[in-house]
A and B are shown apart, each in its own frame.
Chain A
Amino acid sequence: MMNTRKKLKRKFNLRDEIDAWVLLLPMVVILYLFVWRPTVMGAAWSFFDMKAYTVKDFCGFDNYIRVMTHTQFLPMLLNTVKYVLWSLVIGFLPPLFIAIMINEVIHFKNGFKVIIYVPAVIPGIAAMLMWYFMYYPDQTGLLNMILSKIGVEPKQWLNDPSFTIVGIIIYSTWKGFAGTMLLYYASLQSVSVELYEAAIIDGAGPLRRLGYVTRPAMEGIILLQLVRQIISVFQIMEQPLAMTGGGPNGASTSLSYQLYQYGFNSGGKGTGQAMALGVIIFLILIVFTIFYFWLNRKIEDRC
């Protein structure tokens, strides 16, 4: 008796939810066609020989072996890790720092916010080309122009194998920090003013307030942001594509850039390897993603 009533109730609920499902349907179809299906099929087809975009025979781990034994695989993996490390060194603290500064200033607060957000609204490729010309290695490059004014020899910038990744990360930081900054800023806003007032009454200076009031409130979001940054920089692709072509001599080639080369610049011979490399990147990132969700839950529980 009890059971049937429960079933009835569930049926009734489903009927109730049909509105929501109908409204969701187009989105579900689009997600299915453009996200879920390609992801699953890509993983499945990475075990097949491909002739351009046509699936041929099952070939086990052949594609994976080809990707991993590619003589440039390790250098490219290393480059990718370099991108991530440099992005943490160069790009991790500035947004936080600027968010705290904006939070502290009293006049022109909105003006600062707008000015700082400008790089984020410039279209990506246009911004990359702009920086490409700023880094241009002869006297027509903006940075070299400045250097020559102060009597320093022109530098090679992106043409310099030891600087090219740093150069790309400086650009990416400039382009991307504003969004992160706003996130930090919003979370700073939620720190109760009373806590600061209490701290001031107790005689705490700006640094101690930062250490004892701001830090505990911000820790969670900073940690999440760290993991998110690692995940997103690990997939860096457009910047080397537009700014260096992966050069000089592969010095700025990341795994994702290589995936693009396999997929679109190999005369159709690398399609299988492209999907295999996609799965490899996926597996590396899933570790970080699981950590991210675990961290996220932990932080939400704490709040």
Chain B
Amino acid sequence: MKARKIISLVLALALCVMTLAACGKKTNDKDEQGRTVISVGGWPDKEGTELDNAVARKEAFEKENPDVVIKPDKWKFDLKTFYAKAAGNQLPNYFSVHATEVSQIIDSEYSADVTDALEKYGYLDKMNPDILELVRKDGKIYAIPAYAYVMGVAFNPEMLKAAGLLEADGTPKQPKDWYELAEFAVKIKKATGKPGFVFPTAANNGGWIFNPIAWSFGVDFMEQDKDGKWKATFNTPEAVEALQYIKDLKWKYDVLPANTLIDGTEYYKTFATGNAAMMITAGDYPRKVTQYGMVPDQVGMMGMPAGPKRHVTLMGGTMFAVSSDATEDQIDAAIRYHGTQFHHSLSDAVKDSLEREMKKKLEEGQLVGIKSMSVWNANAESLAYEYDLIDKNANSNPNHVRLYNEFVANCPAEIQPEEPVCAQELYAILDGCIQEVLVNKDADCAELIKKAAADFQANYLDNLTF
């Protein structure tokens, strides 16, 4: 009897301790041998080239930097889990963030000020100042841009060819403005029976892609008045015209898919499975369509069409941030680690990283050929090497992506970053407008825009807490 009691007591206590142990705080930044430990997020969790690459990079780095130990952390950035992780001090020290969400991370003060370390390792004066602006707050830098892109128009060369929109050498006809793009889409639908264009509508993707279109129609979404208050400024005829364009894609040109609830996944799937010939996206999209069996020959890209008022494209990218609870040593080590893949000078480590990345892309069957925008200001050694690698390993007709590469290299359009405050909330509201005009033939665009601007002002801009 007594023994049983003791056993049950011990078991019960053990369970309690185990439950509580899971909530423990992070320990200090040094191991027993005095080396700095940094945890690196987004570590691949499956066997394969990606994991091999990560391990190779870690081993090479630790050999070069005996004072640092890399601790893999499989958590990959996701806004839904980010804040809980951050509040529980469970963030990895070094993790990637999408440009579209980076301002939220910086505003919430969960990323560390890395200005000094970037200065020390020669980043600041070598980076594209426009891109650095995305991660600057009150003069300090809170994340490190790694990849950058501008939006363009992705297309399926086979479908464009069927509609006579592809030259014999594989160069597509570039639509000069949005209305020409719609006409091309009509031709494609006539020739192939498939929707010529797909536009996202859900999970903030609709508003995100709608932004550069609206800008090109002359829309300004918000401005800050003298007292620092933000005002929604898009209850304008220009915004109505831009929304009317989306409505016309469905009801006048009839070039969109039947489904009108399209989130990010559905968006790429629709395009990748040949159920739409064109979409607006970023230069890194080949990695998102390969999983649906799209081969490099079916992947093409060209520049962004102009609008009635402006020719403009949206800039974004991927950043790396250091968690705000990192110590000076950890920040320093994280920037050094960052430098083994992303640096303007071509060290052996950077060279190896670029080659490994290229090998992975080829293995996965991704299109190689798109030269994305660079985070470096000009003539970075590593960039020249990367472009050279792309040329050497191109696995499809280079003319399929030539127009986009030219668009990036010598951009005829203005390059604009995302809206400064409550961008995601704005996207969600615009998603609603876009869904409404696509399901309701009689939707009143002016009324929708008026309500959207009022909602955005009342629900978000008037309630800014940080």
Contact = CB atoms under 8 A, between A and B. Distances in A.
Interface in B256-281: 257-261, 263
Given A53-B83, A69-B458, A71-B455, A267 B261 contact: no
Contacts of B33: none
Nearest to B17: A29
Contact of A269 (B86, B431, B438, B465): B465
B16 A66 contact: no
B437 to A, nearest CB: 9
Contact of A245 (B5, B86, B203, B455): B203
Given A22-B9, A53-B86, A267-B424, A247 B455 contact: no
B15 A247 contact: no
B108 interface: yes
B16 A156 contact: no
B259 A136 contact: yes
A271 B433 contact: no
Interface string A251-273: 00000000001001111110100
A249 B435 contact: yes
B446 interface: no
Contact of A25 (B12, B435, B451): B12
Contacts of B80: 264-265
A296 to B, nearest CB: 32
A137 B203 contact: no
Is the contact region of chain B dominated by helix, strand, or loop, or is it mixed? helix
Contact of B261 (A51, A139, A247, A266): A247
A265 B79 CA distance: 7
A102 B62 CA distance: 69
How many chain B residues sit at the interface, stated as a range, is 35 or more
Contact of A22 (B5, B84, B257, B258): B5
A138 B439 contact: no
Given A29-B19, A71-B458, A247-B431, A137 B8 contact: no
Interface stretch (A158-166, A175-183, A219-227, A229-237): A158-166
A268 B86 CA distance: 11
Interface in B290-338: none
A69 B463 CA distance: 11
A26 B15 contact: yes
Interface in A41-81: 49, 51-54, 66, 69-72
A244 interface: yes
Given A22-B5, A29-B15, A265-B80, A161 B261 contact: no
A248 interface: yes
A220 to B, nearest CB: 39
A158 B19 contact: no
Contacts of A69: 458
Given A249-B432, A249-B435, A23 B12 contact: yes
A281 B260 CA distance: 30
Contacts of B260: 137, 156, 159, 248
A264 B80 CA distance: 5
Given A22-B5, A26-B16, A29-B19, A264 B79 contact: yes
Contact of A249 (B79, B87, B439, B454): B439
A138 B431 CA distance: 21
Contacts of B433: 249
Is the contact region of chain A dominated by helix, strand, or loop, or is it mixed? loop
Given A22-B5, A22-B9, A271 B83 contact: yes
Interface residues of A, number: 43
A119 interface: no
A66 B463 contact: yes
Contacts of B425: 266
Contacts of A93: none
A30 interface: yes
A267 B259 CA distance: 28
Contacts of A30: 19
Interface centre among A51, A52, A54 (most CB of B within 10 A): A52
B345 interface: no
Contacts of B403: none
Contacts of B202: 245, 247
A250 interface: yes
A19 B7 CA distance: 11
A158 B432 CA distance: 15
Interface in A3-25: 18-19, 22-23, 25
Given A23-B12, A52-B108, A245 B466 contact: no
A29 B16 CA distance: 7
A210 interface: no
Given A22-B5, A71-B455, A264-B80, A137 B258 contact: yes
A66 B87 CA distance: 23
A72 B83 contact: no
List 4 A-B pairs, minimum CB-CB distance, nearest first. Answer: A53-B87, A138-B258, A267-B104, A26-B15
Interface of B: 5, 8-9, 11-13, 15-16, 19, 79-80, 83-84, 86-87, 101, 104, 107-110, 201-203, 257-261, 263, 422, 424-425, 428, 431-433, 435-436, 438-440, 451, 454-455, 458-459, 463, 465-466
18 contacts: A19-B8, A22-B12, A26-B12, A51-B108, A51-B109, A51-B465, A53-B83, A69-B458, A71-B451, A71-B459, A72-B459, A137-B259, A137-B260, A138-B257, A138-B259, A159-B258, A247-B431, A268-B104
